[in-house]
Structure 1
Amino acid sequence: FLELLENVFRNAVEHGGTGVQITVGDLPDHRGFYVADTGRGIPVEQREQVFENGYSTNREGTGLGLAIVAEVASAHGWETLVTESDAGGARFEFVIASGHD
């Protein structure tokens, strides 16, 4: 679980720009949690790709960080969703997968 948080936080800091702020909270239905940032966000057309092993928008990136996030989340029985935060940055939601209630 710590590896998941570490990689989401690292992604926010590396891609979010100067002064990025990160918020962690419960989802309204208490079926998971979210990590949101105030950075530049992830374009809609890239939101599925960011979890693919090797995908990176940074030349020096390995493309492993968010792939690890998705793998760890799945191992815990969570689905991983990426949307836009209220501040326009990225918001990762970790929701209990169907059948893991």
Structure 2
Amino acid sequence: MILGVVSPALAAVKCFPEKIKSVQVARGGDLFYTTVTGVRRKLTHMSQYEATAMLSLLKDSMGTNQIIQVSYPDGYDCKKPDLTVHADLLMMQDPAVQ
């Protein structure tokens, strides 16, 4: 399942598919996640129409073999924590199916 809004005219950065260690909804409604490698990122804001589905996918992936791949706007650095930039797309996938 793929969620998000992506403009075909804009380039995107796909972060490496990873397992999710934790999910956090902060006061004010920002949705964050932390990968098993310890990188913490902003996913979206709970006021956005895709937020509930994204939160559900993150929760469903935790404790399973499912991995998450997230795309961000062009220029995003997936190796560094970022608590400001919203994701463009979230995809959950089974690593056994390629």
Please state which structure has a larger fraction of its residues in helix: 1
Tell me whether the two structures share a fold, i.e. TM-score over 0.5: no
Q: Which has the higher contact order (CA 8 A, sep 6+)?
A: 2
TM-score, normalised with respect to structure 2:
0.32
